[in-house]
Structure 1
Amino acid sequence: MSRTTISAGLLLFRRLHGRLELFLAHPGGPFWRDRDDGAWTIPKGGVDTGEELLAAACREFEEETGVRPVPPFLPLGEVRQKAGKRIHAWAWEGDADPATVTSNVMRTEHPRGSGRFLTFPEVDRCAWFDPDTARAKLNPAQAELVGRLEALLDGSE
């Protein structure tokens, strides 16, 4: 399997007034503009050749949110999305203000084959969600990560 089908990402969580909340990212660009449920993601991205998966996850999180991840990181394992992309994920406890998120930009041809290129933020917004709402908002394959995090936290309390 090529490295382009492997991504690594981080799921930021916090416990606010005894309740678990998860920090998710909404992809930028015209394809995602009007999509909500099933469109959100953990901040993630491709793994460079020779790069360790966790290092890639941390780099991608910071590039897509402007927030620097802080260890410790809890391994959440791997999920496979419908199109075959494998995502290796970790969770970390911290906080972030969605209003101050800054994302790197990407450039893509739109519509494909048109010769017209658009530049836009890779992530257009982030938000905090309770676990049930996060499951609905996340790409279906990534929703499994919520249950894995809950199980890890239940076992540590």
Structure 2
Amino acid sequence: MPKQSAGILAYRNIDKQLQIFLVHPGGPFWKNKDLGAWSIPKGEYEEEEDALAAAKREFEEETGQSISGDFMPLTPIKYKNGKVVQAWAVLAEIDHTNIKSNYFEMEWPPRSGKKASFEEVDRADWFDIATAKQKMVPAQVPLIEELAAMF
């Protein structure tokens, strides 16, 4: 069975302009990448786990902030590697300046035998639709398009 992830597409309306909340992955591989690197807060979950509950958990793990509201399911997307991402859109007000992400550990520098710890998410921000489409991992763009079509 392909891996599966669940995530939250938080949005808000500022002066009748739809804005999307995205996070930037932490770690050395993403440090200097911007366009095509940002994502909705999301993460993998087990088959027996409720996908929406997993999406909320992952949101909190990656941002340090809980999220609630009227979650609208979006059409799942599929990455080239076969991973399926289920996402829900929700109207929310998230403080992008106060992100407290979980950490992950990896060998760094490569082949050094040394372990280093990095934040899963190193920053977050709100973007208008056009900018979000440029910043976001290309496979996730249909999520924004589906949300925008609702307004």
Structures share a fold, TM > 0.5? Answer: yes
Name the count of aligned residue pairs.
151
1:90 paired with 2:98, answer: no
Q: How far apart in 1 are the matches of 2:75 and 2:60?
A: 20
1:54 to 38, 41, 52: 52
> What is the CA deviation profile of residues 18-59 of structure 1, one whole-angstrom value per residue up to 9, with x for unaligned ones?
110000000000000000000000000010352111110000
Shift of residue 135 of structure 1? Answer: 0.6
Q: How far apart in 2 are the matches of 1:36 and 1:83?
A: 21
Q: How far apart in 2 are the matches of 1:27 and 1:102?
A: 13
Shift of residue 67 of structure 1? Answer: 1.6
Q: How far apart in 1 are the matches of 2:50 and 2:30?
A: 29
Larger displacement relative to structure 2 (108-117 or 11-20): 108-117
> Which secondary structure does the structure 2 equivalent of 1:108 belong to?
strand
**Once superposed, which parts of structure 1, at least 4 consecutive aligned residues long, lie more than 3 Å away?**
111-114
Query: Paired residue for 2:13?
Result: 15
Unaligned runs of 5+ in 1: none
Unaligned runs of 5+ in 2: none
Amino acid at match of 2:6: A
> Which secondary structure does the structure 1 equivalent of 2:97 belong to?
helix
Identity across matched positions, percent: 46
**Structure 2 length normalisation: TM-score?**
0.95
> Which secondary structure does the structure 2 equivalent of 1:142 belong to?
helix
CA-based RMSD of the aligned residues comes to: 1.2
**Structure 1 length normalisation: TM-score?**
0.91
